[in-house]
Structure 1
């Protein structure tokens, strides 16, 4: 992307606008919107003041005032139709939880927000001269700006070293390996990042622990060709098998709520444990850096 460019992307749509050399131009700087705070305050009974509870931040709405410029009326109408079609969001609005990506770049910094295109109002007062004006909004799922690309780290589950047999032994003989592997994640950004975990079988009762923060355990067995994705991002919050089906019920009672799995910036030691006879199981961490402003 170039500085000043914005783009809307979702399946089947990729639209870019902003600078004056593009057919769709930002007429004024986009309004990043206010973020509502939902306060859980209460009046103190029979005394002055208030008691603070938990505060929750809503999602922001980003407002655009766009100009559509064409070589003539037909050209302007064609560009306006493409813009209107993209802003309908048909591929995401019919699916609960589905989101589009709104990307931007300023001073060399690329950021992304997730949400859906919403309000769209156009004026054709000057369409005969190849000009149309559009006012439109993008509703973000939260108030966070994310990095443009994912960071990731994969941790394998190697079997423990050992050797020899000790008696007394009884037939038939079987072996299993309970393994433990740790690594360090370096989380950049300025706010907590959401780690998406993909656990690849074969493994029984996999455990993923971020030392000092949380310990997630799935009480299940994954075959060699199965995986489960634990996605704590605000627009997903799911535990899904590849090919469909929820495994949320397999989370142990001591596992964290998905909404509590954010990782603050810095270095974190993570451990992956489980029972695997082959030593080929792994967990993949994927996350985006998070920022309070673009």
Structure 2
């Protein structure tokens, strides 16, 4: 946890942690997960009937310090620099761009080890020694779900993707005699293998690009099927976001339900290991495609 900590949201990528940054990492505490349960008492009997459990991830508390006490400046300048760093940290952690936008999440890279999504909630400062250039703080971050993502050496959580095109069958041309009406509609079924890394199921973003007729379906072979209830024109793209806390469907970026009523988002994950993606449907041009994007996921925060 002693690598770079990075708080990222639109317009901001704030780094802290190692000694080269004004705000330095001291320690971290992750509160115990809590559970919401559907348990009920056994009617007229001992014990209880267990239902489904839901995990609420614990709050993350990050202890940091702003320390200019060893800087080669007069004590007044050290105090000013410490206060300046404190002001910037307070502004960044308030995260106006996030808290004013319903549903928007920030990303917190934790010491170059993993990344979690959620929201910074508050910053608590100890200014008792600010006059000599030393300030302590506790920063609180609330994860959106129990998922943590793997990061590379630069602290970035990389997006992976796989695309399957709805390619029409190869044809040798028209064969006489021709019978009206002529049709250039193609039914197609294409698949492509890929591998999901990480140690826990990944939640994908699925994008289907038209043109394709209503009733098209995307299959993760032997795991789940997503069906579209409406046709997509050549300039339309349906997006299905399966990530916890963001589960929704959109059409050209606008909220629109394009899914069959029996769609169960809780099943739309991809387990680590080999997978196979299939696009099935009918298209006039045969140029439709589906793309899945995902991040490699760790087992827990």
Q: TM-score, normalised by structure 1?
A: 0.90
Distance 2:159 2:25 in 1: 28
1:49-71 Cα offsets, whole Å, 9 max, x none, are: 22211111013311011111234
Of 138, 142, 157, which aligns to 1:139? 142
Q: Which runs of 5+ in 2 are unaligned?
A: 72-77, 151-156
1:137-159 Cα offsets, whole Å, 9 max, x none, are: 00000112112211111111100
Q: Which runs of 5+ in 1 are unaligned?
A: none
Of 222, 240, 247, which aligns to 2:250? 240
Counterpart for residue 183 of structure 1: 192
Counterpart for residue 279 of structure 2: 272
CA contact (8 A) 2:2 2:17 kept: no
Distance 1:5 1:35 in 2: 25
Counterpart for residue 204 of structure 1: 213
1:22-55 Cα offsets, whole Å, 9 max, x none, are: 211122x211221111122222233332221111
CA contact (8 A) 2:33 2:58 kept: yes
Alignment of 1:258 with 2:265, yes or no, is: yes
Distance 2:111 2:166 in 1: 39
Distance 1:221 1:199 in 2: 11
Instruction: Report the count of equivalent residues.
Output: 285
CA contact (8 A) 1:60 1:141 kept: no
Matches within 5 A, 1:54-65: 54-65=52-63
Distance 1:143 1:186 in 2: 23
Matches within 5 A, 1:138-177: 138-147=141-150, 148-163=157-172, 164-165=174-175, 169-170=179-180, 173-177=182-186
Counterpart for residue 228 of structure 2: 218
Distance 2:195 2:143 in 1: 27
Counterpart for residue 40 of structure 1: 38
Of 78, 84, 90, which aligns to 2:96? 90
Q: Secondary structure at the match of 1:222?
A: coil
Shift of the alpha carbon at 1:231? 0.3
Q: Secondary structure at the match of 2:271?
A: coil
Alignment of 1:194 with 2:203, yes or no, is: yes
Distance 1:139 1:162 in 2: 56
Q: TM-score, normalised by structure 2?
A: 0.88
Q: CA RMSD in A?
A: 1.9
Alignment of 1:49 with 2:55, yes or no, is: no
Q: Secondary structure at the match of 2:29?
A: coil
